[in-house]
Structure 1
Amino acid sequence: MKDYQVIVVGGGAAGMMAAGQAAKNGAKVLLLEKKERLGRKIAISGKGRCNVTNEENVSDFIRNYPGNGRFLHGILRDFDNAALRHFLARYGVETKVERGGRVFPVSDDAESVNKALTAYLTEMGVTILTGITIEDILVENDRVIGVQGTGQKRFLARSVIICTGGASYPATGSTGDGFRFARKLGHHVITPRPALVPLKTAETWVKELQGLSLRNVEASLWIGGKKKITEFGEMLFTHFGVSGPIILTLSRQAGEEIRKGETVQLRINLKPALSREQLDLRLQRDFQKYSNKQFKNALEDLLPQSLIPVMIQLSGINSERVVHQINREERKTLLALLQGLTLTITDTLSLETAIVTAGGIDVKEINPKTMASKRIEGLYWAGEVVDVDGITGGYNLQAAFAMGFRAGRAAGEEVCSLV
């Protein structure tokens, strides 16, 4: 086979950025992707709109990575959100900022991001081969020499960058190949597990609310009866439990605690903008307004229609009662529900359904200045295959692009310095 200086395995966000950067720094680069097209996971991210990054000050980014955020400190400064938006604009993708600082293409089309990255690879002269499955990383004397594909295909190079992703959304090509490579090469792999994943609940009444989306609510995670973390924003009820942005953010810790055998609860404040006293006054006004109606017809100003029967059931108040017959204690019970609707979390959905994989190559075995392996010379890691993960809001794609940028630049500089 034709020899290259740098081989990149995996054509996602990290891989495409790494390949382009290596070529930009003078290397002869081959990008290998197991699927028939590049950027499969980019294409479905953000519900097909692609939340590329967040506008938050990059100095505050680290706190949004529960998985080894400190490792990214210099990496994110090297290629930050402003640099990413400038890069995309250069290739025709203007971006906009939405609620929560989320940055999307103005076109609302994830494919525009893929086209920009492909144009970048073309401009930099990267050779792209798709439909290629890599079986092994070739190493001699603790130095990488290339990769072994299926059907006796060998591709040789002085540097190899692994950007194979995690183990979530396997249909996009992220099937854990990088973890298998790493273990065989003596790297420690932190057990992969789901992050940014919907949650299952013990309560079966969630089925009655399937498809109901709630905005501007507050969800708190309670572990062993103690409040641990709170998120504000949007959530969604499903037939098995709950999902949506704030649930996904809470899911990583929920999953960790469940695996420890802890009791995990989710408490939803449906009216977080109001204090308990303010909400009580609001409820009293509604009760006065509908004093001669049945209880089941008195909550329409306060709650979505589909949620009313569930709240009535949980309150224990007879739905046929006339509102003016409801006493103070019953009203207090309803108030507690409105600001503390409680769900018991039994599990997360599977790793395959998660948006992001937590776990991966131990960051202690990667040089953050270059993304180079500390075990195998000429080997680099970037993207979701590394044990780094962030909350929802564009942070994971930003990390992938930034790690790919640094790995590609370092690999390109290394091989060209040897010429």
Structure 2
Amino acid sequence: MKIYVIGGGAAGMLAAISAKETNPDAEVHLLEKNDKLGKKIFITGKGRGNMTNAQSIEDFFKSYVTNPRFLYSALYDFTNQDLIDMLEQNGCRTKTERGDRVFPVSDHAYSITDALKHYLKKLQVEIHYKTEVKRLVIQNEKVRGVETSHGRYPADRIIVCTGGLAYPSTGSTGDGYRFAKDAGMNVTETYPSLVCLNVHEPDIFKLKGLSLRNISIDITDEDGKSYYRDFGELDFIQEGLRGPVIISASAIITRFLNASDHSKRKILTVHIDLKPALPDSQLDERILRDFQEFRNKELRNAFSNLLPSQLIPVFVDRLAKRGVDINKKVTEVDKNSRKQILNLIRNFDFTLSGTGSFKEAIVTQGGVSVKDISPKTMESKKISGLYFAGEVLDVDGYTGGFNMQMAFSTGHLAGYSAATIRQ
């Protein structure tokens, strides 16, 4: 049996490993168009390699945004603990940090790749570097071979693990979607996910480099419907917003900002509550205390205890646009103006204009339709012997190791299924 795995990332390496473990007599070939394996693994966890999450598998499903039920068999077939055991046994010691994120003890993502390469070599998987697959050879709805930059090779099974469109510099350029379409399979619209959000308001430029901690966000549409709420950290960048709460929010709203069908797009606003820990009554008391301290100053100069210095000029300008006289003495500020101040603290808003591109996105949302894939085997329902695994699938999740685990687990299941001798 000849098994060809296309793509040497997380899913591809596990697919090749699993196939060879399952059927040692099979000829397993791993085709990678780069000159090294796991290029995207190198940038996970900011280069430290957030390989998975340590929470129970039962809790994983709530961390997937798209098609979580599709992953049931894959995640239970190869769990986070199975992954950790495999890496530990091949020289990559692991540790668990905040948020149950799992990293190599070395704090270097290449430790993950080194361990997997060690195991691939031990299993005698044949690795072909700088080998780009041009097309799949399919006849009578069955896999027959692959056509590569180095020639055409017969194959009994093909596992497509080419990734999505995120970080194209790592080699993820959408090849798998083309293979799927050529095979008559459906591919859902793709969007950049886990990415920064761009905004319309020009005063965002004055806030570049500012980080806010312990804020909350609420993203709503024109009718006030809420799409995402969160509490945590937020960063201002050149043309928009980034940081943990924003990255997670993008997974929910990217389809509303990037849909090719403009009728499906929505006008969304992110409402930032600068002081979510304080109820209105306590916040008002806090403002009054500050006013007492700054009673001899103008209102524009009365916020240094309440807000970061970089934020104050923008905050004051926005107050002025609401009709508040910022040149008044603090002692002259009336109750209505104070209410406007409190409201602006609660709703320091920005209108979303879009998201960052695939070059900046951590993962791709959308991909090969799971309706065309068996969740129990990862095999195409339309082409015998053709399997898909990893980010190429229409499955994605939040940060924290969940997307990596999805890639490892679906790759493992695809490899096992492809190598199993059919009766």
TM category, shorter: over 0.9
Tell me if 1:207 matches 2:214: no
Residue in 1 that maps onto 2:410: 403
Shift in Å, 1:319: 5.1
Tell me if 1:120 matches 2:127: no
Aligned 8 A contact 2:251 2:397 in 1: no
Give the aligned residue type for 2:177.
F
Tell me if 1:269 matches 2:267: no
Give the aligned residue type for 2:339.
K
Residue in 2 that maps onto 1:229: 228
Aligned 8 A contact 2:227 2:253 in 1: no
RMSD of aligned alpha carbons: 1.8
Distance 1:92 1:120 in 2: 10
Aligned 8 A contact 2:227 2:252 in 1: no
Give the aligned residue type for 1:331.
R
The TM-score with structure 1 as length reference comes to 0.93
Alignment deviations for residues 51-93 of structure 1 (CA, whole Å, 9 cap, x no partner)? 2222333212112212111101221122222222222222233
Give the aligned residue type for 2:192.
P
Q: Secondary structure at the match of 2:412?
A: helix
Distance 2:415 2:275 in 1: 48
Larger mean Cα displacement after TM superposition, 112-121 or 278-287: 278-287
Give the aligned residue type for 2:54.
E
The TM-score with structure 2 as length reference comes to 0.92
Shift in Å, 1:176: 0.4
Residue in 2 that maps onto 1:256: 255
Tell me if 1:329 matches 2:340: no
Residue in 1 that maps onto 2:393: 386
Distance 1:95 1:255 in 2: 33
How do 1:105-254 and structure 2 match up within 5 A?
A: 105-151=104-150, 153-224=151-222, 225-254=224-253
Alignment deviations for residues 233-284 of structure 1 (CA, whole Å, 9 cap, x no partner)? 2221111111122112211332322331322111111222222222222222
Q: Give the fraction of aligned pairs with identical amino acids, expressed as a percent.
A: 44
Give the aligned residue type for 1:222.
T
Q: Secondary structure at the match of 2:311?
A: helix
Aligned 8 A contact 2:14 2:411 in 1: yes
Aligned pairs, number:
412
Distance 2:275 2:59 in 1: 28
Q: Secondary structure at the match of 2:75?
A: helix
Distance 2:104 2:178 in 1: 35
Shift in Å, 1:141: 2.5
Residue in 2 that maps onto 1:12: 9
Residue in 2 that maps onto 1:314: 318
Residue in 1 that maps onto 2:92: 93
Shift in Å, 1:399: 0.6
Tell me if 1:344 matches 2:365: no
Residue number among 261, 281, 285 corresponding to 1:281 in the alignment: 285
Aligned 8 A contact 2:160 2:387 in 1: yes
1:104/1:278 CA distance change after superposition, 3 Å: farther
Aligned 8 A contact 1:5 1:29 in 2: yes
Q: Where does the alignment leave 5 or more consecutive residues of structure 2 unmatched?
A: none
Larger mean Cα displacement after TM superposition, 189-198 or 362-371: 189-198
Shift in Å, 1:294: 4.0
Larger mean Cα displacement after TM superposition, 98-107 or 127-136: 98-107
Aligned 8 A contact 2:319 2:326 in 1: no
Q: Secondary structure at the match of 1:403?
A: helix
Alignment deviations for residues 292-337 of structure 1 (CA, whole Å, 9 cap, x no partner)? 3444443233222211111111122555544333332222212112
How do 1:40-79 and structure 2 match up within 5 A?
A: 40-79=39-78
Residue in 1 that maps onto 2:295: 291
Give the aligned residue type for 2:7.
G
